[in-house]
Structure 1
Amino acid sequence: MGLIQGTCVECVGISPLGDPAAYLVRGAVIALRKEDSNCVLVRSYEC
């Protein structure tokens, strides 16, 4: 899976222990562990 610049990513849930978290990306919900999500650079802005 890849992300392209300008794609909106929204955190829609975090597990009770804090890892993993669920993200909404282009209509699909994906779960990422902190170890993996730390490799993704995002900027905050209104989608």
Structure 2
Amino acid sequence: MHTPVALLLELGIILTALRLLGAAARRFVLSPVPLSPVAGLALGPGP
């Protein structure tokens, strides 16, 4: 089982990736909603 620190770190990485994809989507005048599954696929299943 994961430790609480590892879970918080993993959550932080996921939220940061979503934030960066959202910023990129706004820059190219796209909706950030379809990029959320792309982030999930890029990050893959946790360890």
Q: TM-score range by the shorter chain?
A: under 0.3
Q: Which has the higher contact order (CA 8 A, sep 6+)?
A: 2
Structure 1 or 2, whichever has the larger Rg, is 2
Q: Which has the higher strand share?
A: 1
Q: Which has the higher helix share?
A: 2
